[in-house]
Chains A and B, each alone.
Chain A
Amino acid sequence: MSNKLSGISWRRRYPGIMLAVALVLVGVPLFPPAPVKAGTPDDAYTIERYYTENANEQSTASTTYQDALTLTFTPPVTKDYLVIATALNNNSSTSYATVAQFTIDGTTYSEAFHQPVNASLNWHSFASHKVIQLTGGSSHTVKIQYRTENAAGTAYIKNAALAVIEVTNYYTAEQETEITTTSTSYVDAVALNFSPSSQADYLMLVSADLASTSAGKDADAQWTIDGVADSGVVHNGTNYMCWSSVERENLTAASHTFKIQYKTSVPASAKIRYARITAVLASDLGFLRYAESEAESVTQSITYVDKTTLSYTASRRHDDINIASGLGKQENSSYAFYANVDRDGVSGGETVFVPGSARIYRSFMLMSKQNTASGVTTHKIQWKTNNAAANTEAFIQNANIAHLEINSAESYNDSAHTTVDDSFGPGENTAYIWAHGLRAGNTYTVAYYDGNPTGGGQKVATDTGISSTAYGNLSSQYLLTTDYGAAAGTWHAVVFDEEFLPGLGPPDNYNDAATTSGYVQGDSFEVTQAAIPEFPTVLAAIAVAGTCFAVYGWMRKRRLAYVRVTP
């Protein structure tokens, strides 16, 4: 009985069931639920940067330039780049110099001659920087080269490093060709004046080649901030030696003037060239941690003494570039000044020189790149003398450590950001962007550009008002199926600093994004057509109709006999 009743019930109900199924199946593609695609501040997004280093010692007896380190790369678009070159060099002869230069596409941007007073106590610092526009789509080559002044002396080089970092928000001034002065008071070689749009940290880089025009005479140089002397060097003799410094400055939204000044001792002239002073918005480079010890310190210790310590706790593994600089001198012209750049007890480079004159103050700058695990990391600048006797003290000042947790952005296909995915295919419908190395607690916008070749990609979405974490991270995501008219191909997610964005936000196409104020970094990833479409509505309708007919047919076959039940 119950079966018969059930049979009647099914037959009565199935058209209604079919109708409900049809409504649901047709309705779902017509009115899809809002996708979850919002950014969260716990995770984060890559400006173009290129880096290479070779810590190993190399040597040559050649008087023509040999490549010590080469970095060849092809930037995707024409942009301005900050190029930093550092190395240590020596010569086996005290009669000849090791000559080092750094070049960009074959053009020299610094050339220094370092002749040791004591060849066994000499690893002199060679360092310089330059901001330059590099053409997108073309191969560029940056080099550190070295040679000996005379084949009787062998030239050595080690701890060579090159970094090329895309910059947008920066100010720079330079004096490339040689100028001279007979003034014994400081005169301007380079002046840089600008007014930041708002208060922010800037990474200051100063570098120059400095010498006297007369043998045995001194040439002095210093850089000033708003008329106040910051730090400087004293070089002796006619060989150009380089001077370099890195420092962080928190600049207010007011006019600021930076200068490189130089002077001579009498009777002589001082000469300077490749003099540059650059201020880069720190967030353009990465998340900056910084420590400095500017006051002059002295030690008689023949074991290393800490001068500057930078200790931090990283929340997660990251890449970082570390730049350490300082000034050193030795009270006794026959003994040595040593400085060591240390990271968790491991030396990242040791500079040493015998000055030959107690008045000489020389600079050192060393750069390295690491992949740092989460947890505590400690960077130090240490210094010592090589004789514990009185009047052989080593002096140090302006010892600065800049640790740049590098801006980087990667795309993932999982919200936990476990595996970088640069190619989105079937079933990979959400692009998760994770960026780090940003300004902590700052507000960012992430704009998404599709693979449309026009303009390099059309803006399809913006994720705005994202606050980065205290660690400078943020994340954003975009559901690729949102707009099935979007073009497959190379997509871009671009992070903008909202503080510097122009009034109408990110531009409509990617090519303009790369040159827009506030551009911090971008990530590219491939999106195939299969990753974009939602199940198209027409196909959905056909599928629904087919399903309904199939259900109907199936139910007809299972139809029970029609039995009238008489009470």
Chain B
Amino acid sequence: MSGSRLRIVFVISLLILGSLVMLAVLRPLASAEEYSVVSRESIIRGEDQWIIQLDIVNQEKRDMSYVLRWSSGGADYTEKILVREGRIYSHIRHVYPAMVQEGKVDLTIYREGEAIPFEQSIYYLK
């Protein structure tokens, strides 16, 4: 590879790096800034339970209230949460086999006052 070609590759790599830095600073990847997102959703299988955890990131440039509803047929749980602008709220749900009917757990998240959920998940737990 000639020196000039190497420089070109290097410059390209710097441009890519610069772009990534810009992404990091400006975060344009979160293009739906006006919407909240559920992130870092995960399920941990414990000795005698499942642990479902998630974060709600409020990117809506204002404080938002949500109603979060867990339903497993056995033990339902509802919680209203207020997530301040730009803040991240964490939620963890412990699910025990005795609580699970039909092998699944439903999670529905509504913006307060809205009938249509903005997030709906079904966790099949076996």
Contacts and interface: CB of A to CB of B under 8 A. Distances in A.
Interface string B18-32: 001101110101000
B93 A465 contact: yes
Contacts of A483: 87-90
Interface residues of A, number: 54
B9 interface: yes
B79 A538 contact: no
Interface in B59-110: 67, 70, 75, 77-82, 84, 86-96, 99
A537 B92 contact: no
Contacts of B90: 37, 460-462, 478-479, 482-483
A36 B44 contact: yes
Contacts of B81: 459, 462, 505, 508
Interface string A536-552: 01101110110010001
A504 B80 contact: yes
A498 interface: yes
Q: Which of B3, B51, B94 has the most CB of A within 10 A?
A: B94
Given A11-B1, A15-B13, A38-B44, A466 B94 contact: yes
B40 to A, nearest CB: 4
B59 to A, nearest CB: 12
A183 interface: no
Nearest to A506: B79
A139 B23 CA distance: 54
Interface stretch (A19-27, A186-194, A295-303, A407-415): A19-27
A22 B16 CA distance: 9
A503 B78 contact: yes
A467 B89 CA distance: 22
Nearest to A542: B21
Nearest to A478: B90
A522 to B, nearest CB: 18
B42 interface: yes
A184 interface: no
A563 interface: no
A15 B91 contact: no
A465 B21 contact: no
A16 to B, nearest CB: 8
B69 to A, nearest CB: 10
Interface in B1-51: 1, 3, 6, 9-10, 12-14, 16-17, 20-21, 23-25, 27, 29, 40-42, 44, 46, 48-49, 51
B67 A504 contact: yes
Contacts of A466: 94
A465 B88 contact: no
Interface in A440-490: 443, 458-467, 476, 478-479, 482-483, 485-486
Contacts of B20: 22-23, 26-27, 541, 544
A545 B23 CA distance: 13
A38 B45 CA distance: 11
A557 interface: no
Nearest to B7: A15
Contacts of B95: 465
B80 A15 contact: no
A28 B20 CA distance: 12
B17 A461 contact: no
A443 B76 CA distance: 12
B24 A29 contact: yes
Nearest to B9: A15
Nearest to B27: A537
Interface centre among A19, A479, A552 (most CB of B within 10 A): A19
Contact of A485 (B10, B41, B82, B84): B84
Contact of B77 (A15, A19, A505): A505
A6 B79 CA distance: 62
A504 B53 CA distance: 19
A350 B89 CA distance: 55
Given A34-B42, A482-B90, A505 B1 contact: no
A16 B13 CA distance: 8
A491 B125 CA distance: 34
B6 A38 contact: no
12 contacts: A15-B13, A26-B17, A34-B41, A34-B53, A38-B92, A460-B87, A465-B93, A465-B99, A479-B90, A482-B90, A508-B82, A537-B24
Interface of A: 11-12, 15-16, 18-19, 22-23, 26-27, 29-30, 34-41, 443, 458-467, 476, 478-479, 482-483, 485-486, 498, 503-506, 508, 537-538, 540-542, 544-545, 548, 552, 562
Closest 10 CB pairs of A and B: A505-B79, A461-B90, A483-B88, A38-B51, A504-B80, A541-B24, A34-B40, A465-B94, A15-B9, A26-B20
